[in-house]
Amino acid sequence: MKAFKISLIWLAGITLVAQIAIAALPFNWPSDDGEMPTLAPMLERSKPAVVNIATRSQVPIRDNPLLNDPFFRRFFDIPEQQPRHRTKQSLGSGVIFDAKQGLVITNNHVIQRADEITVSLTDGRTFQAELVGSDPATDVALIKIPTEQLTALPLADSDKLRVGDFVVAIGNPFGLGQTVTSGIVSALGRSGLGIEGYEDFIQTDASINPGNSGGALVNLRGELVGINTAIFSPSQGAGNIGIGFAIPSNMVKQITNQLIEHGEVRRAHLGVQMQDITPDLAKAFDISSSHGAVVTRVQPGSAADEAGLKVGDVITAVDNNKLINADSLRNTIGLLMVGETIKIDILRNGKPKTLTATVKETEKQVHQGPVHPKLSGATFGDIEEASPHYGKLKGVMIYTVKRGSPAWYAGLRAGDIITSANKQAVENLEDFKPMAHNGEPLLLNITRNQQAMFLLLR
């Protein structure tokens, strides 16, 4: 009975949305020629620009310690050579946004562990794709396919989106093939979800399901307003409940411009650690507003240090854009171009003050020189501000892993954070260097996607 009532409510909601949509869509109904209202003409132009992505990767198999015991192997007649990897396949979506260069946008999580990326077009053609670059912090990746009669989606200005605007999601849910769903923009500027390092999501009720990741969210003109990325499910189930998230097209454009130019994102760095202002902290700092971020640490020699920021300053706005919390400040700074000069409004001892800062590139201390053989092909450094673990977790961050390198086949991936090596805590790069130079087996404790795991390199 409960499920039946829910079904009735859902159907009634669809009827209401349909009535609103008919009144707002850019055509008359019924028309003089008797044609029914439809999105088909727009979709016929847009669908060829949305592709299906299939990936194949080799995942290392964790050994059972008994398999390394010669007596155990002889007793059970286990062959000496056992497969060290298993093949893993996954499906997703992508959007052609530059037909002349064959550039396709997708999510980083769709292709991040792939050894082979296959792109399928709506006309049945299939291509092997090449990775141009990716940014785990925003979950954006850029791949390249041959430029043969491709159709691209024009980019809209996502800053002009409003709650209530009609949108359409196009993708490959559950591997069924290209599918279209429609809805509205439910909310804008969603952050603090813990999905990505930088979050400024468009929330929509257009159905987004597994396999839609990397697909298009378009407006009624067929312009790309976002890249579908995640769904919210309180039961951790696989289905959609009407809460989906997309990366805004303006953020996607900023990231892809850097990926095209540098192959990576050269992220701006202010050099502060921050904390949300709560009503209690606002009272303690003698300020009336509960919005903004309080500075808890200033890195010596950073842009913040040079600008004159101090511990205890409350940042309320950047370039006249008011800040809600520490996450909004991280998003604002992390999406700036290196070298940009910004105006920072602060409250110091309860009094307003304005500072000027020129943001720098995130400082990367890349580990060089001879290393453990299974670390070859990877670069390491202290945890960057882009990481959601910054200021919360101590360790060494893996910045890049070259495909096909020993580090890649050992199972290391960009974005991993090494918290211990051979059961010894690792707080920074200096702690890790002596262990990385050691050629003996190396037991790493790694944090990946908010989960911890051990990886043995030998």
Q: Residues with catalytic annotation?
A: 109, 139, 213
- 10 Å CB burial of residue 305 (0-12, 13-18, 19+) is middle
Residue type, 302: S
Q: How far is CA 322 from CA 172, 291, 293, 328, in A?
A: 38, 8, 11, 9
DSSP state of 206: S
Beta strands in 205-288 (DSSP E): 216-218, 224-231, 244-248, 268-269, 272-276
Name the 3-class secondary structure at 251.
helix
- For 155-165, b/e burial (b = at least 16 CB within 10 A) is bbebeebeeeb
Q: Do residues 277 and 325 touch, judged by C-beta distance below 8 A?
A: yes
Among positive and negative, which fits the CA dihedral 209, 212, 215, 221? negative
Q: Do residues 343 and 318 touch, judged by C-beta distance below 8 A?
A: yes
DSSP state of 108: H
- For 166-179, b/e burial (b = at least 16 CB within 10 A) is bbbbbbbbeeeebb
DSSP state of 91: E
